[in-house]
Structure formats: structure tokens, C-alpha cells
Amino acid sequence: MPVPTNPKIEQKRTQVIWKRSRKAKHIELNDHMVKVYVWELPVRIFHWINAFSIIVLMITGVFIGRPFVSASIQEEAYYSFLMGWARYIHFFVAFLFTINLAVRWYWVYKGNEHATSNPFRLSFWKEAFETIKYYLFMKNNKKHYIGHNPLAQLSYWIFIGLGSIIMMLTGYYLLFEPQPESIYGKMFMWVAHLFGGDSYSVRSWHHLVAWGFMIFTVVHVYMAFREDYLQRNGTMSSIFTGYKLERKKETLGEPNEK
């Protein structure tokens, strides 16, 4: 026998389980066009800190793994501390990368509708599949998205989400591996068992995912320029201003819930 429920209580319970996202602010320019504040300031700050971190971590990481520059004049190590500085910068930026990602995770919950993503919805995967079909030339058009389309969101979950977690776990394990008896050494001891059981396997995962990040970055930049050229909606400038130029009908007619 079904138990009668109070609609107000059910609505409140739903909001606790999955908070409804905020609609993005918009400015009406004329009868047809609006400026949509797609990327809020925390998202833009995260984007540029993340881009900076990935580039610096990649350059210093490659140097640490295979030094491609050395002192031309033999002298005391104190004056040729290049490897030491590369390691210091790599570790410092790694901490910056971690804090930046933590703030972005918070903004997934707190941000507007374009800062959030929910891969647990069936419609998310259906729309991602439809977008894949478009890019494989299996259909001539795709649904218009003001923010990231589901396929782009999926790539962020894989690379920026899962990839970042792998990089942080393997990186911190390698950092504290020489001090296994320290608090931090014990905190990350289990990581080796998760990624192959020895230091070489953990290091291999760290390198493999790092190169995955580089491939993702190249594709990401290409897709951003492509979107800007085809849609003429200011995708590239929105990375700085947060605003995109959209048709009023598509913007205001978009459902409140993804």
C-alpha cells in the first residue's frame, strides 16, 4: 500500500539530494540576441590557473624525468641547482594544482547551470552519444549548447576529474616515497598497491596520464577555436569575459534543469 507523501517535504528532500543549479545571468541586447554570463569568475580563474599549472608541471616533469639542459661550465652544485629548482617548482605548482581543483569541485555544486555536470543522468549519456555521432559525420547537425556539450563534459570528467586525481595520488606518493615512516608517507602508501604495487608502475602511470593531459590540451584548444569560428558566439573571448553571444530564443527557452 503506497504511503501518502507531502509534496513540500518531497521537494525539499530532492533539493538536499541534488541541488538545482542556478540559471546563468543574461543581458538582452535586442529582440533576438542576448549576452549570457556563462563562465563565472571562479570558473575562469580555475581555467587559467589549471592551464598554467599543466604547462609548468609538464615542462618541469619532462626535465626531471630526462634532463635536457645542464650546466655548460663545471662548477659547484650550489651554482648549478637547475634540477633542484625544477623539483621545487614542480612540487609547488602541484600543490597549487590541487588547491585549484578542490575549489572547482566546490563550484560544481555552488556555480551556475554551466558550471555543473551530472553524468548520473541517462539523458547525459544519450546526448553525449548524439554529439559523438555528429563529430563522426553520422548526422548533419547537433543540439546547440550554450555551455559545454555532454561530450565535452565527459572529457572533463575523464581528464580534469579522473586524470587529475590519478596525477595527484601518484605524484604525492612519489614525493613522499623516500620518507615511508613519515605521516605523509604513510598516508599515500596504499597508492602503490592501487597502481601496480611498485614505484616503477606508479611512475609509469604518472607519466602516461601526463601525456594524456597534453593530448587533451591540444584537442581542447582546437575545439575552442573551432566552436568560435563556426558559432560566431565569442567562445574565445568568453574565456576572459565570461560572456557568450547567443540567440534569445535558444537561451531563454532552455529548460531550467539539464
What CA–CA distance (Å, rounded) separates 255 from 22?
12
Cell of 26: 543574461
What CA–CA distance (Å, rounded) separates 197 from 205?
12
Burial 94-113 (b: 16+ CB within 10 A, else e): bebbeebbeebeebeeebbb
- For residue 8, the model assigns a pLDDT of 54
Nearest to 227 by CA among 100, 38, 48, 56: 38
199 phi/psi in degrees, rounded to 5: -65, -40
- For residue 95, the model assigns a pLDDT of 96
pTM higher than 0.85: no
On whether the CB atoms of residues 170 and 206 are closer than 8 A, the answer is yes
- For residue 46, the model assigns a pLDDT of 96
- For residue 7, the model assigns a pLDDT of 55
- For residue 73, the model assigns a pLDDT of 64
Cell of 247: 540567440
- For residue 72, the model assigns a pLDDT of 64
- For residue 227, the model assigns a pLDDT of 86
Quick one: three-class SS letters along the chain? CCCCCCHHHHHHHHHHHCCCCECCCEEECCCCEEEEECCCHHHHHHHHHHHHHHHHHHHHHHHHHCCCCCCCCCCCHHHCCHHHHHHHHHHHHHHHHHHHHHHHHHHHHHCECCCCCCCCCHHHHHHHHHHHHHHCCCCCCCCCCCCCCHHHHHHHHHHHHHHHHHHHHHHHHHHHCCCCCCHHHHHCCHHHHHCCCCHHHHHHHHHHHHHHHHHHHHHHHHHHHHHHHHHCCCHHHHHHHCEEEEEHHHHHCCCCCC
Dihedral sign, Cα of residue 194, residue 200, residue 203, residue 205 = negative
Cell of 121: 543522468
The vertex-244 CA angle with 239 and 248, nearest 5°, equals 170
- For residue 5, the model assigns a pLDDT of 52
What CA–CA distance (Å, rounded) separates 35 from 146?
11
- Each residue's pLDDT, cut to its tens digit, for the chain (258 residues) gives 444 555 555 444 444 444 557 888 888 888 788 899 999 999 999 999 999 999 999 999 999 988 877 766 666 666 667 888 899 999 999 999 999 999 999 998 888 988 988 888 898 999 999 988 988 888 888 788 888 889 999 999 998 899 999 999 999 999 999 998 999 999 999 999 999 888 999 999 999 999 999 999 999 999 899 888 888 888 899 999 999 988 877 776 644 444
